[in-house]
Amino acid sequence: MPGVVATLVTVICGAILADRLILQAEWWQVNRTVTHAPRPPLADLGPPPGPVTLSWQLSTPVADSELPAYDRVAYTIMDGELVVVSGHGLTVRDARTGRERWHYYRGQWSLLGWARTGHVVVAYLERTGHRGNRLMVGLDAVSGTLLWRQRGDVPAATERTTLRWPAGGGVVIVTEDGRHTLYGRAAATGRRVWSKRLAHGCLLPEAVPYGSSASDSVAAFGLDCGARDRTLALDPRTGRTLFTTNAAHPAVSVSGDVTAVFDGTGLHAYDRGGREFLVRRGEDVCREMCPAVVTGGHLLIAYDLARGPENGTETRRLESIDIGSGGLSWRRDMSGYTALSVSGGLVYGLRSRLADPLLPAGIDVIDPATGAGTTVPAPLVTRPGLDGVRPWLAAGGGLLYVAVPTARPRPFGGARLVALRGGIRGSGPPELAGVPAREWPEACSLLTKHDLPRGYAAEPTTAHVEGLRLRVGCTYRLRHQKRRASDGPEREAAAVSVTVQWVAADASTASALFWAARDTQNGVRDPVKAGDAAYGLGVPSGTVMMRVDRTIVTVTSGIPSMASGLANLVAARLRAAP
């Protein structure tokens, strides 16, 4: 009997040692580098108002894990370094050049959360196929040095689209399996410095659509409390409650000392003491959460107004609100922002499009004191419906960093980040990247009635870019279609359209934008022989997108076999133009 016990003890101890020395060992699981190079400086300064051009770019594929909801890419700027987060791990790059400084990857584990505060990045990982096997590591953001490891804790309310969770004032906020208690851990050591039991009946969600992430003085959480959900704001350094407010299924966002809450019925903003200084009613005011930044004692927040009763279209607005008084300083209507950032006394806003139907995204450079601004195109393309990275914007060192989702690389897509610097102004307006409007071809001149079967008539369409009016589109319909537009889809299918989506300053810039557009398309077909480069869209390919020198044009036909032939006619006219 003693021999059996001894054998059993030996087996148990061997299993424990094997787990610690092999299964949990760093030496075979971790691919990690560190750096001893000095930290590169990065001034609090973005590019000046005016055209921008590409400095460098980076493509990051979306990782494939057993938890698709957590397959995301995210970014942050820390003291001259760009932190790139994906399910694969952390990569930290020199923000001026894009060159890698250090990385932390862990084989057979997925990175499912991250936080940052001070000079520390904290990563949360779970072992593939074993969600109960989890690890939290603190890393020095400058060198990549491992500061601490801890098993057992989970992030406090991870933001679904960025994987980020709240941290601030040198403390990262975590919880345990029951999610009834918040804990503060010193980011530099991993030591627990405070704990806070939530109100009876309240739970911390595992993941939220929007979460607190951008303040050293405030962390905010939307709590599940049964019939009466609430928002809790606390000081991340001490865990002290700053205020609570009732809100059903709240999405929260923190910027500076301001907490914004969207509860599905309206948008509310609170200062650090819990005083509500802004209310905007409406269930469509925010799409999950309204972009916002704080600068100079003002909250700049972008939101949607109610749809107009006449045509049902939305009006989007950017407002500057004095935090102390709650008074409106200025407002401007615009086409909508997907991200805002402030640097060097200027506010930068990212638009999903410069104007419909033009190809580039748009960037506004705004004076926060007056609301006056300049709109310029960005050399990238955004498409609705793509996932993988939330559109992101940051500035520093004279550069502007922009990230958007892409459909490539297959099969899970990825994120494209571009670092932009000030560009050549040119002789034309900055809204057109310095290209004079007279150099844009009129779309209705690119096909004539002789190029189409008898009976087609042209209808021009225009694009409006900050006061500029361009005839960029032309739709050709059979004359009886114009008279009887309700005759059904069979007749409408014969329509032909030509759209000039961009004219760049040179062929090289146009080529970069053309291929960036292709990377956002899910339905790209085989290349088409037209122009300098072309590809088909859809099944069958009734649309051809092509580049001819510095012009990007889309040709669409309800009869797929016509599209490539018409594209070649359009290309010939563009080449023949003076």
**In terms of Cα–Cα distance, which of 54, 59, 53 is closest to 519?**
59
Contact 571, 524 (CB under 8 A): no
Contact 252, 231 (CB under 8 A): yes
Write b or e for each residue in 449-484: b if 16 or more Cβ atoms lie within 10 A of its Cβ, otherwise e.
eebbeeebebeebebebbebebbbbbbbbbeebeee
- Domains, the chain, ordered by start: 31-423 (2.130.10.10), 437-576 (3.40.1000)
* pLDDT tens profile 377-422: 999 999 988 888 999 999 999 999 999 999 988 888 999 999 999 9
Phi (first) and psi of residue 528, to 5 degrees = -115, 140
Please give the model's pTM, rounded to 2 decimal places.
0.90
- Identify the pLDDT of residue 466: 81
Q: Residue 20: is its pLDDT beyond 80?
A: no
Contact 83, 92 (CB under 8 A): yes
551 Cβ neighbours under 8 A, 6+ residues apart:
441, 500, 502, 503, 504, 510, 574
β-strands 207-208, 241-246: how paired?
unpaired
Q: Residue 313: is its pLDDT beyond 50?
A: no
**What number is the average pLDDT over the span 412-434?**
93
Task: Give the Cα separation of 456 and 437 in Å (integer).
Answer: 28
**What number is the average pLDDT over the span 294-320?**
76
Task: Give the Cα separation of 328 and 309 in Å (integer).
Answer: 25
DSSP 22: I
Residue 430: strand, helix, or coil = helix
- Identify the pLDDT of residue 309: 43
**What number is the average pLDDT over the span 210-226?**
88
Q: Residue 308: is its pLDDT beyond 80?
A: no
Q: Residue 310: is its pLDDT beyond 80?
A: no
* pLDDT tens profile 36-56: 988 888 899 999 999 999 999
Task: Give the Cα separation of 469 and 332 in Å (integer).
Answer: 20
**What number is the average pLDDT over the span 259-278?**
94
357 preceded by cis ω (within 30°)? yes
- Identify the pLDDT of residue 68: 82
**What number is the average pLDDT over the span 469-492?**
69
Task: Give the Cα separation of 36 and 136 in Å (integer).
Answer: 24
- Identify the pLDDT of residue 18: 46
Radius of gyration of the chain (CA): 27
- The residue count of the chain comes to 578
Q: Residue 211: is its pLDDT beyond 90?
A: no
Question: CB count, 10 Å around CB of 64?
Answer: 12
Which one is predicted more confidently, 108 or 171? 171
β-strands 158-159, 207-208: how paired?
parallel
- Identify the pLDDT of residue 491: 46
Average pLDDT, the chain: 88
Question: CB count, 10 Å around CB of 170?
Answer: 19
Question: What confidence tier does 209 reach under pLDDT thresholds 50, 70, 90?
Answer: confident
**In terms of Cα–Cα distance, which of 78, 74, 65 is closest to 144?**
78
